[in-house]
Amino acid sequence: MKHSGMKTRKILSTSLIYLILIIISVLWLIPVLWVVLTSFRQEPGAFTSNFIPEHWTLDNYKNLWTNTVYPFKDWYINTFWVACCTCAISTFFTLSVAYVLSRLRFAFRKPYLNVSLILGMFPGFMSMIAVYFILKAVGLTQNLWALVIQYSAGAGLGFYIAKGFFDTIPRSLDEAAKIDGATNAQVFFHIIMPNSGPIVVYTALMAFISPWNDFIFANIIMGDNYNKWTVAIGLYQMIQKNNIYNNFTQFNAGCVCIGVPIMILFFILQRFYVAGITGGAVKG
Q: Which positions from 200 through 219 interact with other proteins, judged by CB under 8 A?
A: 209, 212-213, 215-216
Q: Which is nearer to other proteins, 25 or 227 (CB)?
A: 25
Which residues within the stretch 2-41 sit at the binding site for other proteins (CB under 8 A)?
10, 14, 17-18, 20-21, 24-25, 27-29, 31-32, 34-35
Q: Which is nearer to other proteins, 68 or 262 (CB)?
A: 262
Give the binding range for other proteins (CB under 8 A) out of 56-64, 80-88, 177-185, 190-198. 177-185
Tell how many helices (H) and how many strands (E) occur in the chain: 14, 0
| Contact predicate 273/202, CB 8 Å | yes
Task: For residue 142, give the 3-state DSSP assignment.
Answer: coil
CA 13, CA 146: separation in Å to the nearest integer? 56
Q: Between 53 and 92, how does the x/- string for binding to other proteins read (CB under 8 A)? A: ----------------------------------------
CA 165, CA 179: separation in Å to the nearest integer? 24
The answer to whether residue 259 forms part of the interface with other proteins (CB under 8 A) is: yes
Q: Which is nearer to other proteins, 42 or 213 (CB)?
A: 213
The only residue of 72, 188, 229, 272 in contact with other proteins, by rule CB under 8 A: 188
Which residues within the stretch 99-158 sit at the binding site for other proteins (CB under 8 A)?
99-100, 104, 106, 108-109, 112, 116-119, 121-131, 133-134, 137, 149-150, 152-157
The answer to whether residue 179 forms part of the interface with other proteins (CB under 8 A) is: no
The answer to whether residue 267 forms part of the interface with other proteins (CB under 8 A) is: yes
CA 96, CA 188: separation in Å to the nearest integer? 8
Minimum distance of other proteins from residue 132's CB (angstroms): 9
Q: How far, in Å, are 131, 133, 134 from residue 137 at the CA level?
A: 10, 6, 5
Task: For residue 56, give the 3-state DSSP assignment.
Answer: strand
The only residue of 88, 239, 243, 246 in contact with other proteins, by rule CB under 8 A: 239
What are residue 41's phi and psi, to 5 degrees?
Answer: -85, 135
Name residues whose C-beta falls within 8 Å of residue 163's C-beta, 6 or more positions apart in sequence. Answer: 98, 101, 102
* Number of residues that this document lists for the chain: 284
Amino acid identity for residue 106 in this structure:
F
Amino acid identity for residue 99 in this structure:
Y
